[in-house]
């Protein structure tokens, strides 16, 4: 079966834009607040042996990463 992915072009652009912006913020400790803004308020973030739940009042809002 042949696939036509052209209908996904716009979604693909949005995904690429999101990923590019996310990792640009993630790679720069000075952009901590911008990085945190990518997560929902109830997000659970696990990095190695560190876990943070939620955005407010957690280690995610500090220089945790």
| Model pTM score | 0.64
Domain boundaries in the chain? 30-65
The residue-averaged pLDDT of 17-39 equals 89
> Is the pLDDT at 52 greater than 80, yes or no?
yes
Report d(CA 32, CA 59) in Å as an integer.
11
Please say whether the beta carbons of 38 and 19 come within 8 A: no
Helix (H) or strand (E) holding 21, with range, is helix 9-26
Q: Percentage of the chain with pLDDT > 90?
A: 12
Calculate mean pLDDT across residues 2-31. 82
Q: Average pLDDT in the 16-39 region? A: 89
Q: What is the mean pLDDT of the chain?
A: 78
Mean pLDDT of the region 5-18: 78
- Cα-based angle 27, 28, 33 (whole degrees, multiple of 5): 110
């Amino acid at each position: 079966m042949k696939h036509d992915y052209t209908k996904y072009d716009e979604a693909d652009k949005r995904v690429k834009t999101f990923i590019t912006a996310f990792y640009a913020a993630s790679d720069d400790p000075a952009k901590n607040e911008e990085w945190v803004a990518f997560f929902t308020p109830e997000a659970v973030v696990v990095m190695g042996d560190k876990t943070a739940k939620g955005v407010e009042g957690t280690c995610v809002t500090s220089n945790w990463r």
